[in-house]
Structure 1
Amino acid sequence: MGKEVTAVFDIGKTNKKFFLFDKDFQEVHREYKKFKEIEDDDGYPAENLPALQKWLKSLFGAILKSEKYNITAINFSSYGASFVHLDEQGEPVTPLYNYTKPLEQELIDDFYSKYGPEQIFSRTTGSPDSGMLNSGMQLYWLKYEKPEVFKKIKYSLHLPQYLSYVFTGIPLSEYTSIGCHTALWDYEKKDYHDWVYREGMDKILPPIVSAETSINMNYNGKHIKIGVGIHDSSAALLPYVRSIKKPFLLLSTGTWSIALNPFAEGALPNDAAATGCINYMRINGKPIKASRFFLGKEYNHQVMELSKRYKVPSETHRTIDFDIEIYSEIIKDFEPTFSWKFLEGESCPVKTTYPHKSFEVAYHQLMIELVKSQLRYILNSKGNTKITRLYVDGGFTDNPIFLELLSHHLPAMKLRTTDNSLGSALGAAIAISDTELDAKFLKRNYSVKKHVPLIVT
């Protein structure tokens, strides 16, 4: 027999990944795949669901035959806000609609006229109005815009649970997928929101189970424990929750920078939409207060503009370290100079100006302004929770100025960075494992580094 491993399919919007982990959660194998998008029935870009399903089964079938590995369990992590709708025969009746697909404002207004007002609804469900990104709105849209299609639906599965269904044939719902800004869950009642029952949506939503649930099956002649799938953000948070005993915040940085607080109590604030606050859910059904900020998207745009303006190579920003003298000079008579393109609701000049003589100084100015905004989102997520630890993972852990400014402005918090390239895949493997994680797990598996800030006067 080969090495005992847990398999994980980690399905992102762009990259589809497959991992094998040993009993110590060390990666021993990985494969990547990309699929070209297809068009849905309205001509909008959509996931190529048939190609994805075929890849899942063919790759797993091939790995099962390997003498090198003995697969004992498999689980699935995936992006949320996406449904696969199945008919009586268990076949998809619609494309896998893209959560960026726009909804008619008239439909949204109709929904809130029945079940609003919007501000109260957003607080209760942890889901500010985000169109199709609130996946429950997709059900409402199908019912009223495509009623003939809606009538064919036997079950609607969130994508992580559909991935599991491909292997088990058992339709299930799961807390972390229901709880990720879907507008389906009432965090005060700890049940589906009233509108779900009034519209009859509960009839097509399968029974709810925990993300720790697994199904023991004979698959292709092999006894395997099959997980029910987990939402990727909740999966990425799980190793931290399982191994850190004291309250903490996790700042997951990339295109979106998401501040996650798994220790928040109570509902979201009244101004949830304005502060970027939403809810995710832990595997035990408890809320995660999160605050989203379009950091990476704005950063990439502004760095490209700065590189053109100062005529430097596009990678120059990666070589710049924090300079106390430059920082002190900028903040002496500080004025914002950047006009944001992607940061909605952020106050900024009407037009970007370039008063600085060098790219290095202008880049420091950019980071100062971005971190000023980022701090608000961290504090919105923190709320009144007594938290003294901040973990940062993702792309901005390689940005020394970002880290230096964060630690400077948050002196009461201990800042740690982690190398979390496995992210949600590792969380999915842990979710169906009986292994208890100790306090040293992150240090062994995530290369945790303490950040000691410079003294800035």
Structure 2
Amino acid sequence: MKKVTAIFDIGKTNKKFFLFDTDYQEVYREYSTFETIADEDGHPTEDLKSLQDWLKSVFDRILKSEKYNITAVNFSTYGASLVHVDENGEVVAPLYNYTKHISPELKASFFQKYGPEEKFCVETGSSLDGMLNSGMQLYWLKHSKPETFKKIKYSLHLPQYISYIFTEIPISEYTSIGCHTAMWDFKKKDYHDWIYAEGLHKILPPLVSTETGITMNYNGKRIKVGVGIHDSSASLLPYSRSIKKKFLLVSTGTWSIALNPFSEKLLTEEDVANDCINYMRINGKPVKSARLFLGEEYSEQVKQLTEHFKVDPELHKSVKFCYDTYFEIIKDFVPMFRWMGIKTKNMPEASKITYDSFEHAYHHLMIELVMLQVESIKIAVGNDVIEKLYIDGGFSDNDVYIKLVSHYLRNMELRTTDSSLGSALGAAIAISDTKLNSKFLKKNYCLKKHVPFILK
């Protein structure tokens, strides 16, 4: 039987199960999706019962397999989500969706007690995003639904709740607590004073290292069960474990997040104004992160360009970088696009397409978006000296994007990686004692080096 580590990688849409062998090669995968249900206010939320049933049935089935010997299991999930259980371990409230609204009155009452806002954001490494700050979910629950709040014995972030399903041991860990929760004081390296003032520390379980494994007898087998990990921090782990020099990782998708795990300084008010937040490494150290709504903006703008030029909606995927087109555009460059989800000072009142071809307009769009991306990267780097840049996710195979980033950041060595397994692989590494070497990314992530184009 092949020794494997089992990983549940829980996204908002796709629920995935993987088995990795001792060399971190994927040997099995299984996907599932569930319809959302509604909470008591009619807002869509995760169907925890269906999720729990699926977790148990998949795991129990694979345990009986004569092909695989599961020695460990861990969990990677999206953040900003809490599950509340009573003294019997029963769930007492829905997993409230982080898109749910918090009233302006409740927010105002919070900052009357614990403001000013700018100082609070700096201390907690969080932007003010309502329910996206899971600490605010607890404050909202305590003051809006006191009867429910009274029933809570423990509030667990989603990765730790899934671990709890298997171990029945309530715990907290750093990456979930440190991910834009507004709970953690990065200077004190402890919960922020407001958590103690509200008595919320009483329902937050003991804090342990993300690498903690609980060895237990599960259905007659001895298995090490991990405590779970937040997916963004999990994605960073293979890089931080295998690269010795300082680096910056840009994880691209709907959001493009530039992650600097080497920033020793606390965020400033200027950082917060530039949409910087902190994530947390598995050892409790902050990760300075700059966010850009890149993927969402790209999708909306490409859709409009496609309609304007009446071309195939898939055409943008095949456009390659053209040197001559780039220099033609940059010669008399002025911003052409009005953004839908991003705010910039110099964007026009409305988008005005001045080109005859889709390819030219697309290049112009990418130049503008990459200029924003480069600014976001520079904000994440700050005063650190970082020469290595890694890009993964959806934009890592966009030729125009990569060529432009490489051009505008010529002082950095740019490499792209290709791994749809990022957070799952990170969760597997978190629970393993194996040391990674410098060849890990090349072997597991299809590492590619990019050289800036030559200036004529």
Bin for the TM-score computed over the shorter chain: over 0.9
Who is 1:402 aligned against? 401
Cα deviation, 1:76-103, whole Å, max 9, x if unaligned, reads: 0000100000011101111011111111
Residue 255 (str. 1) matches residue 273 (str. 2): no
* Residues 50-449 of structure 1 mapped to structure 2, 5 A cutoff: 50-345=49-344, 347-449=346-448
1:456 paired residue number: 455
SS, match of residue 121 in structure 1: helix
Quote the offset at 1:344 in angstroms: 3.4
TM-score normalised by length of structure 2? 0.99
Return the letter of the residue paired with 1:27.
E
SS of 1:425 mapped into structure 2? helix
Q: TM-score scaled to structure 1, two decimals?
A: 0.99
Alpha carbons 1:19, 1:30 under 8 Å: kept: yes
Query: 2:419 & 2:204 partners in 1: Cα distance?
Result: 33
Partner AA of 1:16 in structure 2: K
CA contact (8 A) 1:22 1:28 kept: yes
Task: Kindly provide the amino acid, as one letter, of the partner of residue 7 in structure 1.
Answer: A
Q: Is the 8 A contact 2:179 2:278 kept in 1?
A: yes
How far, CA to CA, are the matches of 1:337 and 1:423 in structure 2?
A: 35
Task: Please give the secondary structure, in 1, of the residue aligned with 2:419.
Answer: coil
- Hey, what's the Cα distance between the residues in 1 that align with 2:407 and 2:301? 23
Alpha-carbon distance between aligned partners in 2 of 1:70 and 1:417, rounded to the nearest angstrom = 34
Structure 1: how far apart are the matches of 2:270 and 2:198? 27
CA distance in 1, matches of 2:38, 2:344: 32
2:30 maps to 31
Give 1:345 shift: 4.8
Aligned-partner SS, 1:35: coil
Distance in 2, Cα, partners of 1:229 & 1:204? 18
Separation in 2 of the partners of 1:371 and 1:345? Answer: 13
Secondary structure of 2:123's partner?
A: helix
What is the one-letter code of the residue matched to 2:102? Answer: L
AA in 1 matched with 2:234: A
CA distance in 1: counterparts of 2:49 and 2:343, whole angstroms: 36
> Displacement, 1:377?
0.8
The answer to whether the Cα contact below 8 Å between 1:84 and 1:159 also exists between their aligned partners in 2 is yes
Counterpart-to-counterpart distance in 1, 2:74 and 2:59: 12
1:251-282 Cα distance to aligned partner (Å, 9 max, x none): 00011100000000111121233211000000
Does the residue aligned with 1:271 lie in a helix, a strand or coil? Answer: helix
Residues 230-264 of structure 1: per-residue CA shift (max 9 Å, x gap): 00000000000000000000000011100000000
Secondary structure in 2 aligned to 1:396?
helix
Q: Contact between 2:255 and 2:294, CA under 8 Å: does it hold in 1?
A: yes
Paired residue type of 1:137: M
Alpha carbons 1:339, 1:352 under 8 Å: kept: yes
Q: Which amino acid aligns with 1:18?
A: F
For residue 47 of structure 1, what is the aligned residue in structure 2?
A: 46
- Whole-angstrom distance in 2 between the partners of 1:358 and 1:123: 46
What secondary structure is seen at the aligned counterpart in 1 of 2:269?
Answer: coil
On the 8 A contact 1:179/1:185 being kept in 2, the answer is yes
Deviation per residue, 1:340-385 (Å, 9 max, x gap):
1111356411111010110000000000010111111111110011
Q: 2: CA distance between counterparts of 1:194 and 1:6?
A: 39
CA drift of 1:398 comes to: 1.1
**Whole-Å separation in 1 of the counterparts to 2:345 and 2:247:** 26
Amino acid at match of 2:192: H
Report if aligned partners of 1:128, 1:272 keep a CA contact under 8 Å in 2. no
* 1:316 Cα offset (Å): 0.6
Distance 2:439 2:193 in 1: 43
- The letter of the residue matching 1:208 is L
Deviates more, 1:195-204 or 1:370-379: 370-379
Aligned partners of 1:6, 1:345: CA distance in 2, in Å?
45
* Structure 1 moving runs of 4+ over 6 Å: none
- In the TM superposition, what is the alpha-carbon distance from 1:306 to its structure 2 partner? 0.4
CA contact (8 A) 2:338 2:351 kept: yes
Equivalent position amino acid for 2:215 in 1: N
Q: Which amino acid aligns with 1:49?
A: L
Partner SS, residue 348 of structure 1: coil
CA contact (8 A) 1:274 1:345 kept: no
What is the Cα deviation at residue 421 of structure 1?
1.1
Amino acid at match of 1:232: D
| Structure 2: 5+ residue stretches without partners | none
Identity of aligned pairs, percent?
65
Letter in 2 for 1:245: K
Q: Can you give the 5+ residue segments of structure 1 that lack an aligned partner in the other structure?
A: none
Matched residue SS, 2:251: strand
- Pairing 1:13-32 to 2, within 5 Å after superposition: 13-32=12-31
- Separation in 1, partners of 2:105, 2:405: 42
| RMSD (CA atoms) | 0.8
| Kept after mapping to 2: 8 A contact 1:324/1:456 | no
